[in-house]
Amino acid sequence: MVSTLASTVASLFAGGTGHLEPEGHRSGIFKKRILGRAAVTTQGIVGDEHADKRVHGGPEKAVHHYAVENYQRLMESFPQRADAFMPGCIGENISASHLTEENVHIGDIFRIGSVVAQVSQPRSPCWKIDHRFGIERVSMYLAREFITGWYYRVLEPGFVEAGDGIELLERHDRSFSIAQFWRIQLLHQPPTSELLELARIPGLSLEWQRRLTERVRWLQKRAAQR
């Protein structure tokens, strides 16, 4: 039975690249609010850009979703830059309430406006977030608290705008929430059986399937050498 999990697009973001201080690295983290309707293809929102396409963008990371609720936690944890933490500032495309890392599962299929999209993987926060705010350990905090957001692959292109509904259409029985995924993945020595379960989540990106199975092999090899 499909859950009644649902929300509304609070804000929509896309845009070009900017430069991070102090080194001047190019980054696509500087998104701008979209005020009208946006076209969404299998590559993401039309007009969105990524500076480093090796690790950002593409069909498995077409759209990044982040929960509005997470910003309050960031403001409380980093009060020196509380005014900087607002929807869109960590480079997400969709901002919405009520959908969080605790209740959204990898493999979930949602209708967002007229787009049908599937949760493919969590976002892996990196150093660029720290440089964006000029504060150390913001990215570590996001990872430690499991509030990274997640990516969608687009199954059916369409259009979306602020105010559109977000509705869960399908959830697999063998799914894990984004937070559950991180709780296992970030353990120093996770049980290989649990890593294999994660690798077999229906809808998980091929990149993460590979990373998880490679980690299992490494753990098994190390155990055999003891």
The stretch 119-138 carries a mean pLDDT of 92
Residue 1: per-residue pLDDT: 42
The stretch 164-187 carries a mean pLDDT of 96
- Kindly report, residue by residue over 92-106, the tens digit of the pLDDT: 999 999 999 999 999
Residue 213 lies in a domain: no
For residue 52, pLDDT over 80 is answered with no
Residue 212 lies in a domain: no
Residue 52 lies in a domain: yes
Contact 155, 119 (CB under 8 A): no
- Kindly report, residue by residue over 57-69, the tens digit of the pLDDT: 899 999 999 999 9
Residue 134 lies in a domain: yes
Candidates 30, 33, 32, 41; CA nearest to 9 is 33
Residue 189 lies in a domain: no
Residue 103: per-residue pLDDT: 98
Residue 154: per-residue pLDDT: 98
Residue 147: per-residue pLDDT: 97
Instruction: State how far Cα 95 lies from the chain centre.
Output: 11
Residue 83: Cβ within 10 Å count: 8
**Structure tokens of 147?**
């509030």
Q: Which residue has the tokens 């649990």?
A: 194
The stretch 142-163 carries a mean pLDDT of 97
Residue 24: per-residue pLDDT: 63
Domain containing 107 equals 6-175
For residue 3, pLDDT over 60 is answered with no
Residue 13: per-residue pLDDT: 96
**Structure tokens of 81?**
């830059």
Residue 152 lies in a domain: yes
Q: What burial letters (b/e) apply to 41-66, b meaning 16+ CB within 10 Å? A: eeebbeebbbbeeeebbbebbbbbbb
Residue 202: per-residue pLDDT: 96
- Kindly report, residue by residue over 6-18, the tens digit of the pLDDT: 999 999 999 877 7
Q: What is the pTM of this model?
A: 0.94
Residue 60 lies in a domain: yes
**Structure tokens of 91?**
């480079």
CATH of the domain at 68: 2.40.33.20
At residue 116, φ and ψ (nearest 5 deg) are -110, 125
Domain count, the chain: 1
pLDDT more than 90, % of the chain: 79
- Kindly report, residue by residue over 194-210, the tens digit of the pLDDT: 999 999 999 999 999 99
